[in-house]
Amino acid sequence: MAFTAFWIEKNDKTFTRSIIERDEADLPAGDVMIEVKYSSLNYKDALSATGNPGVTRNFPHTPGIDAAGFVLESSTSDFKPGDEVIVIGFDLGMNTPGGFAERIRVPADWVIRCPEGLNLHSSMLLGTAGFTAAECIDKLTNAGMTPASGPVLVTGATGGVGSVAVKLLAHLGYEVAAVTGKPEQHEFLNSLGAASILSREDAAAGVGKPLLAERWGGVVDTVGGDILFNAVKSLKYGCSLAACGLVAGADFQANVLPFLLRNVNLLGVDSVELPLAEKSRIWTRLAQEWQVDLSELEESLTLDTLSDGIDRILAGQMVGRGVVKL
């Protein structure tokens, strides 16, 4: 059976985008075939669409690291036709055809039932970005962070992970400080619940100092680089930073003093290879006690408007979450 897919082809060193018809027989082997109803646009999808070899090596290719839809076929008893399911992470949309298509076929151990409290649309309004924000907050709270710990810093606050983190933290009763390089988005961040806003320059000040004044009861860092370690140097005694991104760089100037003198923690966060049981637990939190209205973050996309969205997210011009309706 034919289905529509977003298609990236490599010609020498250039990459072209189109919308094509594919056949289900072209999909890779797998336990579960899913009719995709929604996906979402993440920065990693844009890297895949432009040939970043750290994301996708084999072309032609369909990106889309997120997918939500109905089971069409299953070779395992874990799923049956009609089940509403979510797939994020693992190899989806990297070197396995992804969610920017009306059909995917994947291993059963990549698939989670959509939990009660979410639907296919709301799950992709969260997507990998929202899931990662929740995973950061989950790690921080497991490390002892509470609203009484002090204000929580969120870097890259207008992006997918950052904007959901601001909204969710404010919803949970935290005082949120948001970092952005976009002065025109201050009102947007305030509407999400940010109590204060810092510029990138503010967040980067004092890079050469071994320690900075204690300020943060927790940090969700989406950018990496020196801003990450500046935030570590500004953590209050015993508090933690959850790191999940590197758009500002993979390297930073570091020293051991914050860890030795202030007993702080630098926590790594990965949503790709996180075991399925842990993914299911965090999805359940998002569907139940952490459920929050994210409609103000949504930009609706289709396969026809996806290419423009890719260009904008690469240029840092997309705010919030792009939800792709198949």
- Counted residue by residue, the chain has a size of 326
How many CB atoms neighbour CB 178 within 10 A?
29
Q: How far apart are the first and last CA of the chain?
A: 16
| Predicted pLDDT of residue 247 | 81
| Predicted pLDDT of residue 316 | 87
93 & 223 share domain:
no
Predicted TM-score of the model (pTM):
0.95
Instruction: Answer yes or no: is 254 within a domain.
Output: yes
Q: Which of 268, 283, 302 is the last residue of a domain?
A: 268
Sheet hosting strand 194-199, strand order edge to edge = 194-199, 176-180, 152-154, 218-221, 240-243, 265-268
> Would you give per-residue pLDDT tens digits along the chain (326 residues)?
899 999 999 998 899 999 999 999 999 999 999 999 999 999 999 999 999 999 999 999 999 999 999 999 999 999 999 999 999 999 999 999 999 999 999 999 999 999 999 999 999 999 999 999 999 999 999 999 999 999 999 999 999 999 999 999 999 999 999 999 999 999 999 999 999 999 999 999 999 999 999 999 999 999 999 999 999 999 999 999 999 998 878 888 899 999 999 999 999 999 999 999 999 999 999 999 999 999 999 999 999 999 999 999 999 889 999 999 99
Distances (CA, A) of 320 to 57, 139, 295: 28, 22, 10
- Quote the DSSP letter at residue 176: E
Collapse the DSSP code of 178 into the 3-class scheme (helix H, G, I; strand E, B; otherwise coil) and give the result: strand
Distances (CA, A) of 28 to 32, 70, 72, 95, 151: 11, 18, 15, 11, 47
Instruction: Answer yes or no: is 8 within a domain.
Output: yes
63 & 94 share domain:
yes
Instruction: Answer yes or no: is 285 within a domain.
Output: no
Specify burial of residue 131 (Cβ count, 10 A radius: 0-12, 13-18, 19+).
Answer: buried
Instruction: Answer yes or no: is 287 within a domain.
Output: no
| Nearest-angstrom CA–CA distance, 168 and 192 | 9
Q: Which of 252, 268, 284 is the last residue of a domain?
A: 268
CATH of the domain at 321: 3.90.180.10
Instruction: Answer yes or no: is 120 within a domain.
Output: no
| Predicted pLDDT of residue 224 | 94
Instruction: Answer yes or no: is 9 within a domain.
Output: yes
- Count of domains in the chain? 2
Residue 202 belongs to what H/E stretch? helix 200-204
134 & 100 share domain:
no
| Predicted pLDDT of residue 249 | 81
57 & 140 share domain:
no
By residue range, what is the domain housing residue 102? 2-114+294-325
| Predicted pLDDT of residue 12 | 87
| Predicted pLDDT of residue 246 | 86
Instruction: Answer yes or no: is 122 within a domain.
Output: no
